Amino acid sequence: MPSLPQDHPAFPASTPNSIRFSIAAARSHAAKDEPLEAIVHYIAVLKSLSTDWRRQFLSEFLRALQAYLKWEKSAAKVREVLTVSSSLYQHEYGVWRVWAEWLFAQGEWVQAREWD
C-alpha cells in the first residue's frame, strides 16, 4: 500500500486523505511500470483539484500517459484513454501534444497536423 505524501508542498494540512492516497497510488503504479493503473488514479484525483494544484501533477500524469502509449498495443484502447484525458483536460496543451505525437507515430499525419 502506498504511503501518503505528507510533506509535498502542494498538500496543505487541510488536504483530504483521499487526494493524498490517489496521488500516492498513481506514483506507486507509475514506479512499478503500470501506466494504466497510474492514469486511472491520476484522472480520478486531478480533475477535482484546483488549476494550480492540477498543474503541479500534470507532468507526472503526462509521463504516465506517454508510458501507456508505448505499452498498450490496442489503438482502440489508446484512443479511449486519450479521449477521456483530453475531455478532462481540454485546456492543457500537453495532453493535446501527446495526442498529436501518437497520431503521428501511427501514420495518421493529416489528423496529427489538425490536432497540433
The residue extents of the domains of the chain are 17-115
- For the segment 86-108, what is each residue's pLDDT rounded down to a tens digit? 888 888 889 889 888 888 888 76
Instruction: Summarize pLDDT for 12-42 with one digit per residue, the tens.
Output: 667 788 888 889 999 999 999 999 999 999 9
- Is pLDDT larger for residue 35 or for residue 10? 35
Q: Which residues of 80-107 are buried (b: 16+ CB within 10 A; e: fewer)?
A: ebbeebeeebeebebbbebbbebbeeee
